[in-house]
Amino acid sequence: MISITVKKEEWEEIEKLIPEIFPELHFELVVEDISLKILGLAESVPCVVSIDTDFSGYESILDELSQLETDAYLNDDYEDSPEYYRYERYKNLWPILFNAINNHRAGN
């Protein structure tokens, strides 16, 4: 089990898109601390999200999301390909999850 901290807006993206692309992945919002935003200590409401995987599984998720971009641009007429539409739909997940795990590893 991995816990990551993300902004409220990022949690909303995760909540909406992860079940579509990784339906087998269990995740949940553990803590949403609005008081930090109210007190001016955070620009956005921080949320702690629990993901039912280990670091190896998390890295596999990042690899799969990264592969979406590669697959999207393989065809000459890529803008009309299903791979491109899939990439466009899920492209924001990679930076959210990548930054969250790097912050987690750095202890932030």
pLDDT digits (tens, 9 = 90+) for 46-62: 899 999 999 999 999 99
Kindly report whether the global pTM for this prediction surpasses the value 0.85: no
Q: Please state the φ and ψ torsions of residue 51, each to the nearest 5 degrees.
A: -120, 130
Q: How many helices (H) and strands (E) does the chain have?
A: 5, 3
Which burial class, exposed, middle or buried, applies to 40 when counting CB atoms under 10 A from its CB (0-12, 13-18, 19+)? exposed
pLDDT tens across 2-25, in order?
A: 899 999 999 999 999 999 999 999
